[in-house]
Amino acid sequence: MGKQILIKPLITEKSNQLSEKLTKYTFVVHKGANKIEIKNAVEKMYSVNVESVNTTVVPGKAKSRNTKAGVVKGRKPSYKKAIVTLASGEEINFFSDL
């Protein structure tokens, strides 16, 4: 398998609230990864038991910014997001190395 399934954890206000209240953690994942691959990757990397995985593809957005040369237009890329629910009593600490 040549693709890296978990790209990075997604740390936002909403994902922090989910992790504190419901033991749900959010990751940016490879676009071609399915729920079973995501579950196995999280269990292997963090040594936890995964109950369920929900996925969604977040569409890219058009962005523009004003510069001296005029308006520069571009796009933010789309990505796949996975919300992983852990078994009760388990947690992942992303900031343990700090």
Which pLDDT score, from 0 to 100, does residue 27 have?
95
pLDDT per position as a tens digit, 35-94: 999 999 999 998 999 999 999 999 999 999 999 999 999 999 999 999 999 988 888 887
Which pLDDT score, from 0 to 100, does residue 5 have?
93
Which pLDDT score, from 0 to 100, does residue 96 have?
67
Strand partners, 86: 50
Residue 30: what residue type? H
Strand partners, 59: none
Which pLDDT score, from 0 to 100, does residue 14 have?
92
Considering the domain 6-86 in this protein, what is its CATH number?
A: 3.30.70.330
> Where in the chain are the domains?
6-86
Contacts of 26 (CB under 8 A, 6+ apart): 9, 10, 11, 12, 15, 18, 19, 81, 82, 83, 84
pTM of the model: 0.82
